[in-house]
Amino acid sequence: MSRPRLAVRAVIVENGRLLLVNAYPGGISDLWCAPGGGVDAGASLTDNLVREVHEETGCAISVGALCLINEFHDPDRGFHQVDLFFRARLTAPPPAGPWTDPAGVVTEQRFVPRATLPDLRLKPDRLAEVAFGSAALVTLSGLERIAPP
């Protein structure tokens, strides 16, 4: 297995809805997650997160506190990723009309009401709890296996 990849993700709740993306090209998976992605060396975590969220959603954000550290792995592919989740807020309205991820990874993004989150397959498993919970402390999730549906 290679070294773990470091990524940053934004927990953005707007009007009781959580911003989620489907980060699988061509819609090959029904897995939803918070927007974000891999960290580029030489740029701050905050700068990386602002860039990633804009690329994936077209949204401009300000980054707040760290709220979750999570690990994902897929031993079948040798994939291991450590995600740092930060609370964030929109600094401008989301773009009108469809948005295209320049990297072609995110195929869909949407704001999802809290009540419908249980109907979706989310990673990490605790994302809804973190997004809508009142916990002030950063939590560390256990190592989660990413498996096909």
Does a cis peptide bond (omega within 30 degrees of 0) precede residue 124? yes
- Interval 105-124: pLDDT, tens: 888 899 999 999 999 999 99
Asked whether 10 and 83 are in contact (CB, 8 A), the reply is no
- Interval 5-29: pLDDT, tens: 999 999 999 999 999 999 776 667 8
Mean pLDDT confidence for 47-58: 95
pLDDT at 135: 58
pLDDT at 104: 81
Number of domains comprising the chain: 1
Which CATH number does the domain housing residue 127 bear? Answer: 3.90.79.10
Element spanning 1, H or E: none
User: Tokens 């701050």 appear where?
Assistant: 44
pLDDT at 20: 96
- Beta-carbon count within 10 A of 27 CB: 9
50 is in which domain, residue-wise?
A: 5-144
70 found inside a domain: yes
